[in-house]
Amino acid sequence: MKNPNYVIVLMLLAIANASAQRGFEFPEDFKPNERAHQYLEKEGFEPVKHHSKPLSASFSDRNMLKSNSAESQLDSVRSYVYTSETDSVFSRKEEYTYDSDGNRTLWVIYDWDSENGEWVAHRKDESTYDSSGNQTLFERYYWDSVQKEWIGSSFQGKKEYTYDSSGNAILSVIYDWDSVNGEWVGDSKTESTYDSSGNAILSASYNWNSETGEWIGRRKYEATYDSAENRTLSASYEWDSVNGEWVGDSKDEVTYDSTGNRTLWVIYEWDSVTRGWVGSRKREYTYDSSDNETLDARYYWDSVNEEWVGDWKYEYTYDSSDNMILYESYNRFSVNGDWIGSFKYEDTFDSSGNMTLRVYYRWDSENGVWVSSSKEEYTYDSSGNNTLYEKYYWDSVNEEWVGGQKTESTYDSSGNRTLYLTFGHRKEEYTYDSSGNTTLSATYSWDSGTGEWVGDRKTEYTYNSYGNWTLWVTYDWEIEQSTWKLDEKKFFYYFNTPTIIEDELHSPYQEKNFDKVSLFPNPANTQITVSADDQILQLQIFNLEGKIVDAYEVNEVETNIDISRLDIGLYIMRIKIESGFITKRLQVIR
């Protein structure tokens, strides 16, 4: 029976040689110019400060080794297909050519013709670069074995790029292969213009019309920036093939204050009847002297009454420490043009910046006023840990606060929470060791019938000297006996490094207590006996790579261990007794 084929593949890492691009930053909840941005994504265009270099395909055309010296450049690759674990035949060959700057200018792929015993061309990529290393041309061809000639790739097989003096791509042209006439024909192109700061202020894309032999507009994007390089305008257009002109799609106008905060954002749509821009939505923003946002209001355009109508707004107030102490939200205008309240809350803070009180309000539409809804009170210890939380609801009938929820927390001197108590519902207890590791966690539920806490689940944790778990002991509550009942033990084993094992072999404890444990016979064949002065709790066997190969729970002073499954060689046995760990070497022979 033949073995499955084994294939060796050499994978080449593609290095994306592109400079940082400048993206569009708008709040997630407003999504302006959505169609324009979808188009830009599709076309791979965005305004950039320094336009990234076009890439010809999903691989890099640069030399893929660290050095560009001739001695380090990748020359060729050969792949082999294995018909068995020992027999193979040629599969593929790749050859590379570079220019003096280390740019790959030629990549040729060959397949092996087993019948004729020779390499046959399959595909080649040709590239050229300007003096700055920008790619100016990419062409892909496939070998026509019938015509014995290279044929251009039928889909976007050729790309040409032109750059300005700053390295920004101002023209990119894509071609397809015309198999009938055996030549490259236009597919699409993009023309771009940049300001003195390298921001793209115009990008227009076109498709090639093979019938008329001319470029036909497809999409256009325009942008302007202020002296601080904030984008103040962005507009997208589509080509009207009937009238032969650009027609608006969407437009944004943004205004900023002297600090760079956005104060106005207006979105327009194109009116095909008036053939002009008309308002769609807008956002207004205000800020205090600390640049904290104090107002965010959104409006939509009422085309019937030709005016802006409020949709919603948020108002914020801050104290002298920049803590937000008031949040108010409003819905759209009422009939008389006033904002209608929706929701608000007021916060109070202590001198350390901890929130001590939050009061929630709802809008009473009948009386047009804010009405208390609920409140939360917080108390802290001197370390800033929250020790008390109380929630109240407003009783509008009796006009008083009614308790709803209360939790208490206590902490140890290290800031670890030792108790979390939700009154009338749940309690959690924790203990820790000197390293801050949790050694116990227990949960309880409140029994309203008996008026006492009833155990739910408890877990005890044990750690090794490296802070890793070695044991979990879990208990459930036994209702009839009103006590904890053992449910599960979980032991943890780790891959120990040879260095750690060697440290234990030469530790002071090891030297002092080495004779407390005996291991015989040693060397051994199929079985060993381990005995100790103290009770043996646990045995672990490691190979010399530090990997655990066997482990046992013992709880006896002497035990026999079956080692017949172990391969011949040297092992380390780690024996845990009541006073600590003893590590001994074990040799397995046959």
**What are the residue ranges of helices labelled H in 391-542?**
498-505, 508-513
pLDDT of residue 44: 37
Domain with CATH 2.60.40.1220 in the chain: 517-588
Beta-strand ranges (E) seen in 511-568 are 517-520, 527-542, 548-562
Strand partners, 328: 315, 344
In sequence order, the 6+-apart residues with CB closer than 8 A to the CB of 212 are: none
Which CATH number is 517-588's, of 2.60.15.10, 2.60.40.1220, 3.40.50.300, 3.40.91.50?
2.60.40.1220
> Phi and psi (nearest 5°) for 232?
-100, -15
Specify whether the CB–CB gap between 450 and 459 falls below 8 A.
Answer: no
Residue 31, Ramachandran bin (φ over 0: left; ψ between -120 and 50: alpha; else beta): left
* Cα gap 261→444, rounded to integer Å: 52
Specify whether the CB–CB gap between 503 and 583 falls below 8 A.
no
Residue 312: other Cβ atoms inside 10 A: 15
Structure tokens at 313: 């707004």
Residue 48: closest CA among 172, 252, 207, 203:
203
- Give the integer Cα–Cα distance in Å for 487 and 183: 79
Distance from the Cα of residue 406 to its chain's centroid: 37
What per-residue confidence (pLDDT) applies to 327? 98
- Please, are residues 385 and 379 in contact by the beta-carbon 8 Å criterion? no
Q: CA 576 to CA 524: how far, in whole Å?
A: 21
CATH of 74-128, one of 2.40.128.720, 2.30.40.10, 3.30.413.10, 1.10.150.120: 2.40.128.720
pTM above 0.75, yes or no: no
The CA distance from 177 to 184, in Å, is 5
Predicted local distance difference test score (pLDDT) of residue 16: 30
pLDDT of residue 584: 87
Domain with CATH 2.40.128.720 in the chain: 74-128
pLDDT of residue 269: 97
534, two tokens: 């103290």
Environment class of 480 (CB within 10 Å of its CB; exposed 0-12, middle 13-18, buried 19+): exposed
Residue 73 is predicted with a pLDDT of 60
Vertex 417 angle, CA 413 and 419, to 5°: 115
242 contact partners, CB below 8 Å, separation of at least 6: none
Query: Is the CB of residue 589 less than 8 Å from the CB of residue 525?
Result: yes
Per-residue model confidence (pLDDT) at position 469: 81
Give CA separation, 128 vs 159, 326, 330, 449, in Å: 11, 62, 60, 85
State which residues of the chain have pLDDT below 50: 1-71, 497-503
Give yes or no for a contact between 221 and 40, defined as CB atoms under 8 angstroms apart: yes
Tallying the residues shown for the chain, one arrives at 590
